[in-house]
């Protein structure tokens, strides 16, 4: 039965309408002569009136059932905790009741003192206060039954960005639409749910499949660690996919081809050549990590080009529960762009503040508007190779900034809750607020690799050299094809084509190799210590 005053409109409602019994209710303007003006408070009153008269199971429109509740149907009245141990109260987004149940009558009577200025006092806090005194009238379910993950930044990130929660303890889940609709749920559609692999969409995707096989059957598995022997967590090339379906959504999927099935998402990005362009306007790449990935020992490698001239914009961010380690823009005295590594955590006022003694000095290397390779390497001193610094930022294979005195701050938590590129989680922890574009970086990204270990200096240099040789070879092939095409168009007779490299090709390749060797081993490594 669907209770309403104003009839909803829209395609989704029309699709659901044949399954509904419609029941129009009067518009609630007063309760016990107390004025009620907000639509949410009016709905609070209506649900209690309807449950008192009819009984049944009430669910908010943004609460999704994931398991049967038959084992609870013999109870008189049921609610579930909001927050661990009911720290917020008992949430009225799910209520099960028999007609004329004692607790609903007792609860409704308190509306004689209703105050619209107190947002959730009567709907959530007050039933939580009443329940311990009337245990024989109400069954209280654990917070994981329906209201976990929560509506805070940790919970919303778990639902909409990470692929880390399997709902095994849930009977249902509240998707917190009012907190998520401005940013995290923006442009959500059936296509988005089918293509984006986060905790929530993986849970509700089978409802859309309706018994059909999942076209990507391993996409929703949750890993605790990488399954690869080389400790590679993921590789996201960010090349434009051939499948049209994978290019028609916002967010776009950031496809991982490592075998670990760690597809991320790209919000407000677009494919440009073999890269993703982020405009800096509510745009970012977010990559989910295995659930036990430690920030104590990891490597994040990426190629990027940017023409930014602003400081403190986010190139890359390693997110933990209570902190971030990030690479952000820095403007040198001469006005040129470089990068700096900072570590931030929540202070005693629950605000974000940088840990001053863990700030690395800015890289002296000026950044132009070409592609450059960057890698942030964090080494656990207990397992790292002798002589490797605990943290180092590399640019094009050279140490741009590092410190031998840097120690991992225990206060930020060690489990990685995702890696951002081009932006950062809202610093005020309010995903429903307008996105803070002041920290967003306008940039092109490609070829992201993340390892569950700190790579050595030699490995970083070898990786850059190998990539440079690959790019040089690709450019040579492209030039050869172009010259061949021009020759064909100008030729008056058909000539035979051979796959053997020409002498010119060999000379170009040798020159490229020599240049790479010269760049690779140049003595301009930068160390703090």
Q: Which of 196, 232, 262, 264 is nearest to 422 (CA)?
A: 264
- Return per-residue pLDDT of the chain as tens, 529 residues: 999 999 999 998 999 999 999 999 999 999 999 999 999 999 999 999 999 999 999 999 999 999 999 999 999 999 999 999 999 999 999 999 999 999 999 999 999 999 999 999 999 999 999 999 999 999 999 999 999 999 999 999 999 999 999 999 999 999 999 999 999 999 999 999 999 999 999 999 999 999 999 999 999 999 999 999 999 999 999 999 988 888 889 999 999 999 999 999 999 999 998 999 999 999 999 999 999 999 999 999 999 999 999 999 999 999 999 999 999 999 999 999 999 999 999 877 777 889 999 999 999 989 999 999 999 999 998 776 667 899 999 999 999 999 999 999 999 999 999 999 999 998 766 788 889 899 999 999 999 999 999 999 999 999 898 877 776 776 666 566 556 655 555 543 333 333 334 444 444 445 444 444 444 333 344 444 4
CA–CA dist 474, 482 (Å, integer): 12
Residue 429's pLDDT is: 67
Q: Which residues have a Cβ under 8 Å from the Cβ of 225 and sit 6 or more positions away? A: 290, 292, 293, 452
Contact 298, 384 (CB under 8 A): no
What is the CB neighbour count within 10 angstroms for residue 102?
14
Helix (H) or strand (E) holding 299: strand 298-305
Distances (CA, A) of 44 to 50, 110, 122, 395: 10, 13, 9, 57
Burial of 528: CB neighbours in 10 Å, binned 0-12, 13-18, 19+: middle
CA–CA dist 267, 279 (Å, integer): 10
Residue 428's pLDDT is: 65
CA–CA dist 428, 425 (Å, integer): 9
Q: Domain spans of the chain?
A: 2-141, 153-294+305-373+403-448
CA–CA dist 508, 514 (Å, integer): 10
Contact 373, 395 (CB under 8 A): yes
Helix (H) or strand (E) holding 373: strand 372-378
């Amino acid at each position: 039965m669907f209770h309403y005053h104003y009839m909803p409109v829209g395609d989704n409602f029309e699709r659901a309408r044949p399954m509904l019994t419609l029941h129009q209710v009067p518009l609630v303007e007063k309760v016990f002569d107390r004025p009620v003006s907000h639509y949410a408070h009016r709905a609070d009153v209506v649900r209690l009136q309807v449950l008192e008269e009819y009984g049944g199971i009430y669910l908010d429109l943004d609460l999704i059932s994931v398991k049967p509740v038959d084992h609870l149907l013999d109870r008189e009245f049921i609610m579930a905790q909001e927050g661990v141990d009911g720290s917020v109260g008992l949430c009225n987004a799910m209520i099960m009741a028999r007609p004329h149940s004692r607790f609903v009558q007792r609860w409704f009577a308190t509306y004689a003192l209703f105050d619209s200025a107190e947002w959730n006092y009567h709907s959530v806090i007050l039933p939580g206060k009443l329940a311990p005194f009337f245990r024989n009238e109400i069954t209280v379910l654990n917070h994981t039954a329906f209201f976990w993950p929560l509506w805070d930044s940790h919970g919303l990130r778990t639902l909409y960005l990470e692929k880390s929660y399997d709902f095994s303890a849930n009977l249902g889940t509240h998707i917190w639409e009012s907190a998520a609709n401005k940013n995290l749920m923006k442009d959500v559609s059936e296509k988005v749910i089918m293509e984006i692999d986060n905790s929530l969409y993986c849970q509700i995707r089978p409802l859309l499949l309706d018994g059909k096989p999942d076209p990507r059957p391993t996409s929703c598995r949750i890993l605790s660690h990488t399954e690869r022997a080389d400790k590679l967590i993921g590789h996201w090339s960010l090349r434009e996919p051939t499948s049209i379906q994978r290019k028609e959504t916002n967010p776009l999927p950031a496809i991982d081809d490592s075998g670990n099935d760690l597809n991320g998402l790209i919000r407000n990005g677009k494919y440009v050549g073999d890269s993703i362009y982020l405009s800096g306007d509510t745009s970012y790449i977010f990559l989910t990590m295995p659930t036990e990935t430690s920030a104590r020992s990891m490597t994040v490698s990426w190629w990027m080009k940017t023409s930014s001239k602003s400081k403190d914009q986010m190139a890359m961010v390693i997110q933990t529960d209570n902190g971030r380690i990030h690479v952000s823009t820095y403007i040198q005295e001469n006005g040129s762009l470089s990068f700096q590594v900072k570590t931030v955590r929540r202070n005693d006022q629950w605000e974000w503040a940088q840990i001053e003694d863990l700030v690395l000095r800015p890289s002296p290397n000026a950044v132009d508007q070409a592609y450059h390779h960057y890698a942030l390497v964090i080494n656990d001193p207990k397992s790292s190779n002798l002589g490797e610094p605990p943290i180092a930022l590399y640019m094009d294979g050279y140490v741009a900034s590092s410190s031998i005195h840097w120690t991992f701050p225990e206060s930020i938590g060690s489990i990685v809750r995702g890696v951002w590129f081009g932006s950062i989680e809202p610093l005020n922890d309010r995903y429903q607020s307008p996105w803070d574009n002041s920290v967003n970086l306008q940039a092109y990204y490609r070829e992201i690799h993340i390892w569950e270990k700190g790579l050595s200096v030699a490995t970083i240099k070898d990786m850059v050299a190998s990539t440079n040789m690959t790019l040089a070879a690709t450019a040579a092939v492209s030039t050869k094809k172009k010259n061949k095409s021009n020759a064909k168009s100008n030729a008056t007779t058909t000539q035979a084509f051979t796959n053997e490299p020409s002498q010119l090709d060999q000379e170009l390749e040798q020159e490229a190799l020599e240049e790479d060797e010269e760049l690779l081993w140049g003595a301009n490594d930068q160390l703090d210590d």
